[in-house]
Amino acid sequence: MPSEIEKRKADHISLAAEGDVGFRRTTTLFECVRLVHEALPDLHADRIDTTLELFGKRLRAPIFIAAMTGGTEQAHSINRELASIAEERGYGFGLGSQRPMYVDPSKTPSFCVRDVAPSALVLGNIGMVQARSMCSDEVQKLADVVGADALCVHLNPAMEIIQPGGDRDFEEGEVTLARLVRDLSVPIVVKETGCGISARTARRLRAVGVRHVDVSGAGGTSWVAIETERASGKVRALGEALREWGIPTAASVAQVASVGMETVIATGGITSGLDIAKAIALGAHAAGIARPVLKALLSGGRKAAESFLESVEAELRAAMLLVGAKDLDALRKAPKVVVGELSAWIEHSS
């Protein structure tokens, strides 16, 4: 008999791949970023350098196959296939929440990908609420068992208050994060789950020692919408009211970058190489793609997922050439024009 966590994780995969769970009105606001064309780039297109060093690993491109799943047989298959692609293409790979393997160690194999991704940059994942109740050694073990190079600690209050049986107590977050930064041997990456991180929150994170953030902003998959689909009654109504809640990804990247974090990862509605180029121009160091890769894999298999990622990388390289950026540092400094709503978000970043 499947456990409640197994049922939830299976629902998440199905809804993420096939459900109407995107933001309906909210966008990432990357459409408000205009990269300035350089008609005289003085570069060779084939010599554009997209590599970067992150958490002790060298990536071929600033791309993560972002955290999605774990804890079921289907999740096991998905994780291994996507981790293998990340290994082959030189990307980072993020595991979904490792809570299932902490609750039930028999679920551990669904998170173990090192045999197919021995050298890839792998990010572990646990919720702040779960980590709060665990001793530091237990959290460290989660990272060690899967061979994680860094551990994401995710924040998801909007998702949890809609989730049937979800958490309601989000106290002691700063204390928990400070402890983990102090005690763990791997870097801590604080990430949201689709609602973004503000400059104010980033400053609080920095004050307790956090130096790495994954914004996971609004505009892509709405995890509030996913949990709304699983809810009923008054909770479902609350989910509908909060479906558009969050800071658009581009706005979150710009706000967090202004705080001076060592690493800023842009996830949340990233669907193209142009999105990644704009995110980096706003101050991100890398970007994560989740739902589009999952949909490609489930609809067309490995070849479809690889083809999608090839197009993403080709777009990124083209954008770099067309702004005259020989490498990612140059892209981060590339001229840009910010218009519309995004300009207001950046202006009011306190």
Contacts of 292 (CB under 8 A, 6+ apart): 271, 308
CA-CA distances (angstroms) from residue 194 to 15, 191, 335? Answer: 15, 9, 28
pLDDT at site 67: 73
Burial of residue 102 (CB within 10 Å: 0-12, 13-18, 19+) is: buried
Tell me, what's the pLDDT at 18?
72
pLDDT in tens, 172-214: 999 999 999 999 999 999 999 999 999 999 999 999 999 999 9
- Buried/exposed 266-280: b ≥16 CB within 10 Å, e otherwise: bbbbbbbbbbbbbbb
Question: Would you state the pLDDT for residue 70?
Answer: 67
Per the structure block, which two tokens stand in for 258?
């202004």
191-208: b (≥16 Cβ within 10 Å) or e: bbbbbbbbbebbbbbbeb
**Coil vs helix vs strand at 151:** strand
Cβ contact 62:90 at 8 Å? no
pLDDT at 172: 97
Question: What is this structure's pTM?
Answer: 0.94
Integer Cα distance of 180 and 209 in angstroms: 9
Strand 57-59 versus strand 336-338 pairing type: unpaired
Position 228: which residue type? Answer: T
Query: Whole-angstrom Cα distance, residue 124 to residue 150?
Result: 6
Measured CA to CA in angstroms, residue 208 lies from 78, 184, 189, 312 at distances of 35, 14, 13, 35
Assess contact for 262 and 52: CB atoms under 8 A. Answer: no
CB-based contacts of 89: which residues, under 8 Å, 6+ apart?
60, 61, 63, 306, 309, 313
pLDDT at 288: 97
Residue 235 pLDDT: 92
Residue with tokens 């914004």: 215
For residue 288, which of 59, 78, 67 has the smallest C-alpha distance?
67
pLDDT at 304: 98
Residue type, 90: G
- 189's tokens: 């990456």
How big is the CA angle at 336 (ends 334 and 341), to the nearest 5 degrees?
145
Check: CB of residue 158 under 8 Å from CB of residue 196: no
Q: Name the token pair of 253.
A: 């990247």
Burial class (CB in 10 A: 0-12, 13-18, 19+), 167: middle
Residues of the chain with pLDDT under 70: 1-17, 69-71, 350
Q: Across-strand partners of 92?
A: 64, 121
